[in-house]
Amino acid sequence: MTDAPPSSPLRDHGRALAIAILGLAIRLDALRSPPVQDDHAQLAMLRGAFPLHRAPWDLFAFVRPGEAPALRADGLLPWWTDDRFAIAMFRPLSSLFLAAQLSLGGHRLAHAVSALLFASLVVVAGALFRTTLPRPAAWIATLLLALTPAATLPLLWVANQNALLSVLLGLVSLSALLRGRVALAHAALLLAALSGEYALPMLGYAVVVALRRPSPARLVATLSAAALTPMIAARALHYGAANSQYLDPLRVPALWLAQSPGRALALLGTALLGQTTGPDHHGSVFAASATATLLGATLLVAAFVLTLRRWPAALRAPAIAWPLGAALALLPVLAAPPLPRLLLPSAPGVAALLAVLCAAPLTRWGMPSPATPAAVALSIPLLIVHLALVPWQAHVDVRALSATFARTRDAVSRAAPEVSRSPRCDVLLGALDLDALHYPPMIWREAGARSSGCWRVLTATALPFTLTRLDARTLQLRSDGGTLVEPVALTAYRGSPMVVGQRVVTPAMTLTVTAAREGYPTELRVDLGADVDAYAWWVLLGGRMVRVVMSRMPAELRVPPAL
């Protein structure tokens, strides 16, 4: 606790809520977003239109083990998907919660609930900051958390609402633990684990706090049991991810260890220095650099330690618990490619670390020791980056992401009048984003159109390729200098490279890799089950999804990049 004058808890909660509203204000476009990506699959599950049955508590079981071939044949998965591919998450609480929202009020209600969860998260974290940090640092930490880029996608993408729920419950557990309400701490952590995997990162904070309480070993064991029991049950029920870009440290420990340092550096760059990388972002405050990240992170941690050394001993332990918890929270998310949204569990600890440095000069308002010139010099660029540049970047990201999703959805929706049941299969020549890759039949269904019931995407490349019609039932696709399937698209659906001669048989066509480079297909033969005009052929061009008659096209056609 600090020695600052007491303040009304209700007034403090109101101020924290105002800060949360500011965080929502810079992301207003996110709260207006239509269904995107996995949202379409979950809506189809609730309507009984998903290829396989899913209960309302199981909306995150997109592909269970053994289901990949059937879903690939249906077209929900691309043709290059590994037979052993799986991505099924055990999130019964958040799944039921989301199902209720979508059933009662659709996506508008779900977005409103996401905003409420985010505001609650900021308010609960703000109370924790005020309990453990000097007041100037506590308020700056609350503001930094409200502006974190990690919250952008969970607010935009309804299917990612589970992240907000599980982190919020993890913070409730931490608050209960600090107040000595151990039973509530266990219950909240268990509910967090039933909401999503982010309960495991949140366990890191609880462990750090538990180590300072009586009987720490027993408390750590029982808290770990609360967080891990649902996950152990999920593993026994064959939930999880396999043969994809998600690296399970228990299944592929060597690969996880090999890729974790690079993933950790990318996430640290985003969290501490405002670097933004990955498809969640369309720009960056600073260009990502491993050297800059290492130097910057080392400098910030050293400055944090030196600052705390000047504090009274009673204030040090609560403050240092935050970055320690954030470091532990980072480890579990290294199983996934480094995207800013993965930093949501670490965001409270990172906000506390940065706030201590930013608030160091504010001794007049309650900081515990005179600031050194170095601390003052460091606080100014940190404030500029994290209170100005990073929020502006978040605003830009939301608008860019919303525009990207809207462009694809609008292109697919506008094509609905041309859709019919008569073709043997609807075939898109190329797609790069998930909406176009997986979900056009679901978007058409939402628009009132009924398609053939068969969907194929032949390529996922940002480069042109050549399509040659060898005869009425045979096509050849050849990359013009690149690959027909970009690395990010290939590794998302398989854990092994493709080889020459590899054949994929589906009900509508057979696809054979006839040339490959470093495991990525560069040439593909497509043997159709009927003449080309029995299929509906589609191409994404200039923000439009256009249907073409293949037999009227030249025998050799250069296809431009997709959207």
What integer best gives the mean pLDDT of the chain?
88
pLDDT exceeding 70 applies to what percent of the chain? 94
Residue 467 neighbours by CB under 8 Å, 6+ apart: 429, 475, 476, 477, 556, 557, 558, 559
The CB-side HSE value for 92 (13 A sphere, CA atoms) comes to 10
Please give the pLDDT value at position 561: 62
pLDDT at 273: 79
Quick one: angle between helices 92-132 and 38-47, nearest 10? 130
51-60, 179-188, 533-542: segment of lowest average pLDDT: 533-542
In this prediction, residue 277 has a pLDDT band, given cuts at 50, 70 and 90, of: low
DSSP line for 310-350: TS-HHHHHHHHHHHHHHHHHHHHHTTS---GGGGTTTHHHH
What's the rounded mean pLDDT across residues 356-368? 77
First to last CA, the chain: 54
**What is the SS3 assignment for 492-529?**
CCCCCCCCCCCEEECCCEEEEEEEEECCEEEEEEEEEC
Question: What average pLDDT does the segment 91-116 reach?
Answer: 96
Of 117, 352, 89, whose CA–CA distance to 200 is shortest? 89
**Most trustworthy range by pLDDT among 271-280, 370-379, 411-420, 493-502:** 493-502
Residue-wise pLDDT tens digits, 435-491: 777 888 888 888 888 888 889 999 998 888 999 999 999 999 999 888 999 988 898
Residue 288 has pLDDT above 60, yes or no: no
Q: What is the pLDDT of residues 129-147, one digit of tens each?
A: 999 999 999 999 999 999 9
Helix residue ranges per DSSP H, 133-181: 135-146, 152-156, 161-178
pLDDT above 90: percentage of residues in the chain: 52
Residue 286 DSSP label: B
Give the per-residue pLDDT at 6: 61
In the prediction, which pLDDT does 459 show? Answer: 93
The predicted structure's pLDDT at residue 363: 66
Report pLDDT digits (tens) over 8-33.
888 999 999 999 999 999 888 888 88
pLDDT digits (tens, 9 = 90+) for 193-244: 999 999 999 999 999 999 988 888 999 999 999 999 999 999 999 999 888 8
Domain range summary for the chain, segments of one domain joined by + = 9-32+89-403, 409-559
Place 276 in a pLDDT band, splitting at 50, 70 and 90: low
Specify the pLDDT at position 371.
67
Bridge partner list, 275 = 286
Ranked by mean pLDDT, the top range of 20-34, 177-191, 281-295, 394-408 is 177-191
Cα–Cα distance, 96 to 196 (Å, whole number): 12
The two three-digit tokens of residue 467, written as one number: 């399509």
The mean pLDDT value for 110-115 works out to 96
Residues 6 or more apart in contact with residue 236 via CB below 8 angstroms: none
Has residue 4 got a pLDDT over 70?
A: no
Q: What is the mean pLDDT of the segment spanning 138-161?
A: 93
The three-state (H, E, C) secondary structure of 412-472, written as one string: HHHCHHHCCCCCCCEEECCCCCHHHHHCHHHHHHHCCCCCCCCEEECCECCCCEEEEEEEC
Radius of gyration over every alpha carbon of the chain, rounded to an integer in angstroms: 25
With vertex at residue 388, the alpha carbon angle to CA 372 and CA 353, rounded to the nearest 5 degrees, is: 45
Q: How far is the C-alpha of 400 from the C-alpha of 394, rounded, in Å?
A: 10
Residue 63's pLDDT is 95
Residue 211 amino acid letter: L
Strand partners, 286: 275
1 pLDDT exceeds 50? Answer: no
pLDDT tens digits, one per residue of 66-77: 999 999 988 889
Is the model's pLDDT at 5 over the cut of 70? Answer: no
Q: How confident is the model at residue 562 (pLDDT cuts 50, 70, 90)?
A: low
pLDDT band for position 366 (cuts 50, 70, 90): low
